[in-house]
Amino acid sequence: MKRIRSHFSKVAHIYDDLRTTDPEPILLIRKKLEHLSRIEAADVGCGGGRYDVRLFEQLGEKLCLTCIDDSENMLKELAKKLQKHKMTNYKTMRTQARVLPLKDNSLDAVITLNALHHFIVLDFLEEASRVLRDERYLFIYTRLRSQNRESIWGRFFPQFHEKEKRLYELSELKAILKTIPALKLKSTNHFRYKRTAKLKTLINQAKHHHYSTFYLYDQQDFEEALRRFEANVIRHFKDPDNIVWHDENIMLTIRRKARPQAS
């Protein structure tokens, strides 16, 4: 974990260039929240803010956003990014997802996008339940273990999906949710994206560890796996300048039940 935290600090300034930002989950969040005149929300595991820009674009000035991450450098990059886009209605907090320094019953939405595998999930869900207002939403956008296995990395990068043990299957997430009676799973939305890249772009992403999974390899094993990945892709695809595959993700929309009325 120390290596992974160090990684995020090192790549914070180039992270947006290494990762893809999907608009679809943000559009789904907007549909659930747009009826509110004011939206107080937290993005937990916000990273450098690439999705937070999209949140402000879709929800506008009524969004008041707390951006939470455990990496100081990521939060600095987030501040630069939001200021560049003239988005000011936010604050940052450096903390882990297991202890959110937020008041009880204070938020309309808790959002986490491609970060759940870095959390102690039960602790995070309990904290989300605590800080959410009645009938408000927790949005979890992630990839399942089976989805990871079918990605281009899971299919062609040796040991990638075997080493990545932090991901869950939907049944496992549902089981954890059942231990928190105040949270109710309302819907699951599956997303499938067509991706296109050059082989040299994929190799560059891997060398820069655009997925923290790559830090689960020691250096010698990583270099050998990268060599084999390149050979596997060349063997499978006709044009190394036009690699086409599909990525899949899932969104869990979870609602906080109403608290019992005091007698």
Taking 90 as the threshold, does the pLDDT of residue 13 lie above it?
A: no
Its CATH class, for the domain covering 2-148+164-194+247-256, is alpha beta
Residue 2: the pLDDT is: 52
**Is residue 201 within 8 Å of residue 233, measured between CB atoms?**
no
18-67: pLDDT as tens digits: 457 899 999 999 999 999 999 999 999 999 999 999 999 999 999 999 99
pLDDT at 167 over 70: yes
* Residue pair 110/132 in contact by the 8 Å Cβ criterion: yes
Q: What is the 3-state secondary structure (H, E, C) of the chain?
A: CHHHHHHHHHHCCCHHHHCCCCCHHHHHHHHHHCCCCCEEEEEECCCCCHHHHHHHHHHHHHEEEEEEECCHHHHHHHHHHHHHCCCCCEEEEECCCCCCCCCCCCEEEEEEECCHHHCCHHHHHHHHHHHEEEEEEEEEEECCHHHHHCCHHHHHCCCHHHHCCCCCCHHHHHHHHHCCCCEEEEEEEEEEEEEEECHHHHHHHHHCCCCHHHHHCCHHHHHHHHHHHHHHHHHHCCCCCCEEEEEEEEEEEEEECCCCCCC
Q: Map out the domains of the chain as residue ranges.
A: 2-148+164-194+247-256
Q: Which residue type occupies 111?
A: I
Q: What is the pTM of this model?
A: 0.92
pLDDT at 185: 98
Residue 98 has what pLDDT?
Answer: 95
